[in-house]
Amino acid sequence: MAGELNINAVRDSFTEALNGANSLQELDEIRVKFTGKKGDLTLLLRSLGKLPPEERKSAGQELNTLRDEIEQKLEQTGKKIRDAENEKQEISQRIDVTLPVKGRTSGAFHPVMQTMHEIANIMQGLGYSVATGPEIEEEFYNFECLNVPAWHPARDMQDTFYFPDGRLLRTHTSPVQIRAMLEYGAPLRIICPGKVYRRDNDTTHSPMFNQMEGLLIDKDVPFSVMKGTLAEMVNAFFGKSLKSRFRASYFPFTEPSMELDIECVECSGHDEHCRVCHGTGWLEVAGMGMVHPNVIRAGKIDPDEFNGFAFGIGLDRMAMLKYGISDLRLLFDGNVSYFMSGFQGEAE
Ligand code: PHE
């Protein structure tokens, strides 16, 4: 029978084509070749009508069987190819968790932050808690409460950045003295590390720098405790005793007032042209004094009952001294390699 011959030929050529199929695309081409509009199987189905009626039924059954067979095999082979492709992809994307990781550069604290933490630790060991205040401050806290009325010449000591509304960038951390007294009352022991701002810019001054305020308020606090506390702090920070000196000074918010100088790290006083100490041999690191009664009063504490001392340490100076950094501006520069090389020498 002509029909039967054709059916077997189509089955054979389908089986052969299928065995050679390696990709979904090839499989699709085979699907079109046999079951598409002009596909071999389709043509056979169409030619059924031309057969004599007595052959039509059995040929029709055979063709249906072949069609089912072809569809089933296409399906099976499709699944096989997809599985194989998935596996290939999985293998190519497999992550080897035993491989060593790529090198990472590790972060480190900025020398000033490190200094801040170290000094805060020392002061916390002496019973001080950390207080904070805003960097955008009211004149009232930055000056008025600190015994610096508007007419006071001491306002010129700190060239101030003002906002149009009269507020300012705090010129020191001292306003936190008032805020802490108002918030916690007496007795009191606080430090306040933070950024402060002045119109200044040279090798030893930057418009933004870091201070740490300290305030102790208690009954009958002697002057000697202030000197002892500062000396203790400096020695603990440097881990050795650097030459230091207390020098009489003036601040409107303390009376009497002193400044603490430390020997110049750059020249130890041997270079009269030293660009760090300008030949003086000393670097100012802190201002301090016994808190003025007016300031204690502004903090709503009775100055007849309580007294105390306050100090302000320049944290950037302390960092420069400890790490041998000769230009303050390097602290605010993006030149990381300078710091990575152990804080020594000149920046490129
Ligand atoms: N606020 C002073 C300054 O910035 C430092 C200081 C603080 C002095 C506390 C005395 C007491 O120069």
**pLDDT at site 205:** 78
**pLDDT at site 59:** 86
**With bands split at pLDDT 50, 70 and 90, how would you rate the model's confidence at 296?**
very high
Is residue 230 pLDDT above 90, yes or no?
A: yes
Least confident of 47-56, 191-200, 280-289, 332-341: 332-341
**pLDDT at site 106:** 74
Which residues make Cβ contacts (< 8 Å) with residue 295, sequence separation at least 6?
Answer: 145, 146, 147, 177, 178, 253, 254, 310
In angstroms, what is the span from residue 152 Cα to ligand 1's centroid? 16
Is residue 55 pLDDT above 80, yes or no?
A: yes
Least confident of 76-80, 303-307, 321-325: 321-325
What is the pLDDT averaged over residues 270-277? Answer: 84
Is residue 339 pLDDT above 60, yes or no?
A: no
Residue with tokens 């308020």: 217
Q: Which helix (H) or strand (E) holds 224?
A: helix 223-238
CA nearest ligand 1 atom 7, residue: 312
Mutate to test the pocket of ligand 1, among 178, 249, 251 (most ligand atoms within 8 A of CB): 251
**pLDDT at site 346:** 43
Of the candidates 110, 14, 30, 93, which has an alpha carbon nearest to the alpha carbon of residue 333?
Answer: 110
Q: Summarize pLDDT for 86-143 with one digit per residue, the tens.
A: 999 999 888 888 888 877 777 788 999 999 999 999 999 999 999 999 999 999 999 9
Closest atom of ligand 1 to CA, residue 291: 11
Which residues sit with their C-beta closer than 6 Å to ligand 1? 172, 174, 251, 254, 287-289, 310-312
The length of the chain, given as a count of residues? 348
In angstroms, what is the span from residue 208 Cα to ligand 1's centroid? 16
In angstroms, what is the span from residue 253 Cα to ligand 1's centroid? 8
**pLDDT at site 344:** 47
Burial class of residue 295 in the structure, from the number of CB atoms within 10 Å of its CB (0-12 exposed, 13-18 middle, 19+ buried): buried
**pLDDT at site 227:** 92
Least confident of 16-30, 154-168, 213-227, 278-292: 154-168
In angstroms, what is the span from residue 172 Cα to ligand 1's centroid? 7
- DSSP for 325-336? ---GGGGGS--H
**pLDDT at site 327:** 78
**Average model confidence (pLDDT) across the chain:** 88
**With bands split at pLDDT 50, 70 and 90, how would you rate the model's confidence at 347?**
very low
